[in-house]
Amino acid sequence: MVSKLSGKYVVNEKGKAVSVLLDIKTYRRLITELEELEAIRAYDAAKASCDEAIPFEQAVQEIEKSRQ
């Protein structure tokens, strides 16, 4: 899903954009979409590997452990 993002840029003394301010709704949507993309990439990597399959619950626990 491609959507238009809007934010206010913070610039340094040379006028170069160094950060961006987003409203909280946009920020939360971006985080949700990034988490979904991470899950898709993990699925794709698992499908492409020749590793032995493990139960879904075990996979979720291992992913959550790696995030901490």
The residue count of the chain comes to 68
Q: Across all residues in the chain, what is the average pLDDT?
A: 87
DSSP string computed for 6-68: --EEEE-TTS-EEEEE--HHHHHHHHHHHHHHHHHHHHHHHHHS-PPP--HHHHHHHHHHHH-
Give the model confidence (pLDDT) of 25-41 as tens digits: 999 999 999 999 999 99
- The one-letter code for the residue type at 39 is A
In the structure, what pLDDT confidence band is assigned to residue 4 with cuts at 50, 70 and 90?
low
What predicted TM-score, i.e. pTM, was given to this entire model? 0.56
Question: From CA 13, how far away is CA 58, in angstroms rounded?
Answer: 50
- Give residue 33's pLDDT: 95
pLDDT higher than 90, residue 67: no
